[in-house]
Amino acid sequence: MPSHFSTIGIPIQSQDELLALAQRVVDNSIGHDTEHGYYLQWSSSCGAEVWLQINQNNDLIGVTPHFSGKSRVRVGLTQRVLHPDSTELDGALYGWADPASDDPASGCYPLVFDTPDFTLHQHILLPAIVTVQVAAFAHDVSVFASAKAFAASQTSEFKFASKSYIPAGTFTPDGEEVKSPEAHAMFTGHILEAEMRTNQLTGQAFYWALVETLCATYDVVIDPELLDALPHVGNVLYGSFWISGRIV
């Protein structure tokens, strides 16, 4: 079954394998100190990243994937989000995609993203407008040959546009706003670029696509188990995703 790690070519099935991954990347990682501990960032030429979280007692408390790509999104940040099961180095940011003015609380839609280097940005006073590299890790995904083919596939009265974004982690199935928003979304978009990439650490392949959706362009990474073939430029992609982002 695909995971956030297999989505960037690192198949992980157990806690033991996660610990083994941390041990493999630690010696080739870059350190980032914070007042709560430090991060170790492993990066590869394919874009895959692994972030180790080390607390003040020098204990490994978390391992987080990310993907570094071409996406650049103007975001109006309005709040930090902490979850009950978060470590002291975990966190998400909540804001608005593509604010229309100098008001961070305006924009196309709410955007929530987990960030692997959360505490490195504690100095930023919110609200603020920043640029974020956003990576969408596919949970499930479908690809259509064109916008016309995507439109024809929809049989219900309610239809999605070929560029749309639903911040699914900000509300319950009943439509009520949640107190602690999650970095989950559903969106459709047009593929601008697409490649099969290989993670040098494992030799495992994954798909990358640069996808233009409503008001933004996102890096999308996909475990090949989810698709029969590599998507192509001009295709329309639709799916649900975990959203990871880094302020650049």
* Together in a domain, 184 and 194: yes
Question: How many structural domains are present in the chain?
Answer: 3
Structural domain including 118 reads 73-133
* Together in a domain, 171 and 238: yes
* Together in a domain, 115 and 35: no
* Largest separation between any pair of C-alpha atoms in the chain: 57
Instruction: Please tell me whether residue 13 adopts helix, strand or coil conformation.
Output: coil
Give the residue from 133, 163, 184 where a domain finishes: 133
- pLDDT band at residue 84 using 50, 70 and 90 as cut-offs: confident
Give the residue from 20, 37, 67 where a domain finishes: 67
Picking from 91, 32, 82, the residue whose alpha carbon sits closest to that of residue 64 is 91
* Residue 47 domain flag: yes
* Together in a domain, 212 and 223: yes
Task: State residue 2's pLDDT score.
Answer: 87
Give the residue from 67, 83, 115 where a domain finishes: 67
* Together in a domain, 127 and 88: yes
* Together in a domain, 101 and 63: no
Q: What is the pLDDT of residues 181-191, one digit of tens each?
A: 999 999 999 99
* Together in a domain, 93 and 150: no
Instruction: Please state the rounded mean pLDDT for residues 75-80.
Output: 97
* Together in a domain, 210 and 223: yes
Task: Check if the beta carbon of residue 49 is closer than 8 Å to that of residue 41.
Answer: yes
* Residue 95 domain flag: yes
Task: Check if the beta carbon of residue 80 is closer than 8 Å to that of residue 169.
Answer: no
* Together in a domain, 241 and 178: yes
Q: What is the pLDDT of residues 20-32, one digit of tens each?
A: 999 999 999 999 9
Rounded distance, CA 43 to CA 135, Å?
A: 15
Q: What is the pTM of this model?
A: 0.96
Report DSSP state, residue 1. -
* Together in a domain, 77 and 60: no
* Together in a domain, 226 and 188: yes
